[in-house]
Amino acid sequence: MKYRLSMLAVLAATTLMPACAPLLIGGAAVGGALFAVDRRTSGAQVEDQAIELKATARMRELATLGNVSATSFNRLVLLTGQVPTEADRVALGEAVAKLENVRSVVNELAVVGNTTFSISSNDAVISALVKGAFIDARDLQSNAFKVITERGVVYLMGIVTEREASRATDLARTVAGVQKVVRVFEVISEEELARLLPKPAPK
C-alpha cells in the first residue's frame, strides 16, 4: 500500500509537470514547496536537455525501424530501446558519442523486436514504484536519482555516494516486476557530496 500511494504521487506529479524547462535548476521554492537541489551544475542540466534532443533525433534518423531513446545525466548518455540489427546498435552508439558535449555513452540498445504497448506500460509502472520506494526511504534524497525501465530492467542514474548507490540498488530490487538493476552512476565521496549540498541558512 505504501508503494502504491507513492506511485500515485509520482504519476500525479509527472502529469502536472510542464514538458519544457526543468522544474528546478540549482534549488528553489516552487508553488510553496521546497524541491531538492539538483547535484548537477545548471550548465550540465541545460547540456543534458540539449544532448537528449539531439541524440534522440539522430538515432531516429539512423534507425527508422527501431524504438530508441537517450537519457543524459551530467553528459553521460544511456541508450535504451530496440533495434533490428547489431550493426544498427553499434552505429547508433558511435553516432551519439560524436555529439557535442557527450562525455560517455552506455549503449544498452537491444537487438530485438519493438516493445509492445503493454510492456511499455508495465515499465512505466515499475519506474513509478521504484521512485516511490526512493521517496519513502528516509535515508535517500529521491531527486538525486533518475530511473529508466526497459523490459523490466531498471537503470539508475545520478551523482551519488557508494552508500546511496548500494541502498538505491537494494530498494529497486525489491520492487515487483524488476528483472535486473543496472547502475549507471557517477560515484562521489561523502566529502564531495557535502560540498555539493546546499549549506543551511545562518540562524
Model confidence over 142-159: pLDDT tens digits? 999 999 999 999 999 999
Q: Report CA-CA distances (Å) from 73 to 9, 32, 65, 78, 152.
A: 24, 27, 26, 8, 21
pTM for the full model?
Answer: 0.80
Q: How far is CA 80 from the centre of its chain?
A: 11
Grid-cell match 537541489, residue found: 37
C-alpha cell at 87: 550493426
58-102: pLDDT as tens digits: 998 998 888 999 999 999 999 999 999 999 999 999 999 999 999
Cα(94)–Cα(77) distance, integer angstroms = 12
- Asked if the model's pLDDT at residue 103 lies above 80, the reply is yes
Helix 2-16 and helix 117-136: axis angle, to 10°?
110
3-state helix, strand, coil in the chain (%, to 5): 45, 25, 30
